[in-house]
Amino acid sequence: MIGVVAKKNQTRVVEEFFELFKTPWEFYRPERNYDVVIASADEIPEVAAKLLVLCGPDRKSLDARLEISPGSRHQGGTLLDGKNSFPVYRELSTLSGGNNATGCIKFGSEKAGLIFQSTGSTVVRLGYDLFDEVEFLLTTGQPVENAATPTLDLHIEMLRQWILRAEVAFVEVSPTPAQYRFIACLTHDIDFIAIRNHFFDHSMLGFVYRATVGNLRSLLRGKISFGRLCKGWFAVLSLPFVYAGWAKDFWEPFEWYLQVEKDLPATYFLIPFKRRAGEKVASAGASRRATAYDVSDLGKQTANLLKHGCELGVHGIDSWHSVEKGSAEMAVITSVTGKSSSGIRMHWLLNDSRTPAVLEQAGYTYDSTVGYNETVGYRAGTSQVFRPLSAQTLLELPMHIQDGALFYPQRLDLTEPEAEKRCQVLIDNANTFGGVLTLLWHDRSHGPERFWGEFYAGMVQNLKSANVWFASAGQVVHWFQKRRDVQFEKNGTSLGRHVEPISPPLNIRVHHPRNISGASHIDLSWDGTSNHELERSLKAVFEPSVIAAASVPVTNTEAHSTL
């Protein structure tokens, strides 16, 4: 059990941190004994834990006993924990002294983390506040230059390793279903459905230029083949026939995606109202945000998508700032899906600090706007679904890889081999930390003038060959909600009522530094309906006095099952 001694203003962020690092914890109570204590407050009680983690740039009440002195102060910086470099964003202090300590985190040539070890006791002193860093990541988010670092996931991993180093056994609900390495979520923002809707407007003229002059430049730079250049020019020449209805509209996206993603669930975010640019759009060319279609133009297509097991969500226009408009936009999509609520991703990824609360009040179940237009990576520093700190029920499905960010000349402007390397780093991180890898591929990306379809098809095949669970955005969020519903109980060994099965099952990871098998952990599958095997396995690893049990509520009733 972990006890947390936090600052008064950190309650919400501590609670969310332990939904991501899903292990038994509680706010510190003096009458309880804890295996691990994490303290960000300046005044810290005397504790007898196997591991004590003290974090923050200010002087702590225990620093004198440890002979530690905070040194130079900095507003953020890049740290190194021995094998991983990671950024911190809030105030940071170097640390000096601690004659019996070894450095565990470096800040340039100085130390920003010290570790003290003695018989049966370990103390880690950090020069930054873990919970302040988590708050920054889940609110402000990482700047583009640090996008490639899964900073929050690294914070969790460092804490996990310190616990194991202190020889503390503990149980954790992994952020990945049992038997899988991670989750893959395929999503599409539908901004265009046909070039027939664009006759001598900005979109059509831009297409002609990019398919001819732009593709010629791409050929000379080695970014496309001569065959793709010819296909682009042919598409331009075919435009009169497309407009006349004699040739296939090469911007139609749905048939192509259904073929590439055959038997895989995908999520399509659809525009609710055509010819609306939206309000409060400060970006240049804001009028171009208006689309020439809305979901009412897609009767046959939406029926076909639903038939193939796809999910339909809102590609929001004004939902990010207006509860009233958000409710109206959602009502358009739910009238098609027949569901009472929906998920959303904002058009152009517009959002501000109020957006989570606005979307929640409008009735959305999840948002998937947190990501980058300019690059790929981890805006919130994590591959996990999380709850924004300003929300009570809304969950956030982070977006990690976007086609335009990879290939647009004004953004990363990568070749396909370069893009493959960038994406492989994120896939490797997902294999390491679990969670979900969310891909966004737009409607026109498979055709001329972009020709990003082959790369996407290759990505899908690569993921299919890995041990991943493919799920729609709604399915991913629902699974993470089931994981969040788990509540740990001290010494809980009794069986409760059976509940609705969790599919795919949760992975209960039991960490034990002295496991007789030699492995540092064992993984146990649990679908929430029966726990006999899990209970036996836990008892085989733990003494009865340290078994931690979990309960998963079925609904809002009191029916539950305990481990």
Please write the tens of the pLDDT for every residue from 37-94. 999 998 888 888 999 999 999 999 888 888 998 889 999 999 999 889 999 999 999 9
Which percentage of the chain shows pLDDT scores above 70?
91
Average pLDDT estimate for 23-32 = 93
Mean pLDDT of the chain: 90
149: left (phi over 0), alpha (psi -120 to 50) or beta: beta
Q: Are 4 and 26 in contact (CB under 8 A)?
A: yes
Q: Which domains does the chain have, with CATH numbers?
A: 2-173 (3.40.50.880), 182-193+252-478 (3.20.20.370), 198-241 (no CATH), 487-551 (no CATH)
pLDDT at 537: 63
| Spatial CB neighbours of 25, under 8 Å, sequence gap ≥ 6 | 1, 2, 3, 4, 18, 488
CA distances from 250 to 205, 238, 266, 301, 406 (A): 15, 10, 21, 16, 22
| pLDDT higher than threshold 80 for residue 532 | no
Give the tokens for residue 129: 């506040």
* Cα-only R_g, the chain: 26
Which band of pLDDT confidence, cut at 50, 70 and 90, is reported for residue 517?
Answer: low
Strand pairing partners for 171? 510
Q: Calculate mean pLDDT across residues 445-456.
A: 94
Strand partners, 75: 91
Whether 563 has a pLDDT exceeding 50, the answer reads no
The span from the CA of 363 to the CA of 563, in Å, is: 33
Closest by CA to 124, choosing from 91, 143, 101, 142, is: 101
- pLDDT digits 0-9 by tens, 5-15: 999 999 999 99
- Compute the average pLDDT of residues 368-389: 98
CA atoms of 313 and 342, how far apart (whole Å) = 6
The mean pLDDT value for 148-169 works out to 95
Cα–Cα dist 259/457, whole Å: 10
Q: How high is the pLDDT of residue 46?
A: 86
pLDDT at residue 546 is higher than 90: no
Residue 547, pLDDT > 60, answer no
pLDDT, tens digit (0-9, with 9 covering 90-100), for 287-345:
999 999 999 999 999 999 999 999 999 999 999 999 999 999 999 999 999 999 999 99
* pLDDT value at residue 352: 96
More confident residue, 397 or 497: 397
Kindly report the backbone phi and psi dihedral angles of residue 300, in degrees, each rounded to the nearest multiple of 5, phi listed first: -70, -40
- Report field, pTM of the whole predicted structure over 0.75: yes
In this predicted structure, what is the pLDDT of residue 484? 94
Kindly report the backbone phi and psi dihedral angles of residue 534, in degrees, each rounded to the nearest multiple of 5, phi listed first.
Answer: -65, -45
Query: 280: which residues sit within 8 A by CB, 6+ positions away?
Result: 318, 321
> Could you give the percent of the chain with pLDDT greater than 90?
77
Of the pLDDT bands very low, low, confident and very high (cuts 50, 70, 90), residue 182 is very high
pLDDT band at 527 (very low <50, low <70, confident <90, very high): confident
Q: What is the pLDDT of residue 239?
A: 95
**Digit-coded pLDDT (tens) for 104-118:** 999 999 999 999 988
- Amino acid present at 169: A
- Quick one: average pLDDT of 168-195? 96
Q: Is the pLDDT of residue 554 over 60?
A: no
Reported as a pLDDT band with limits 50, 70 and 90, residue 540 is low
SS3 for 97?
strand
Work out the average pLDDT over 266-272.
Answer: 98
Rounded to whole angstroms, the Cα distance separating 464 from 487 reads: 33
Judge whether 136 and 477 are in contact, CB under 8 Å: no
| pLDDT at 519 > cutoff 70 | no
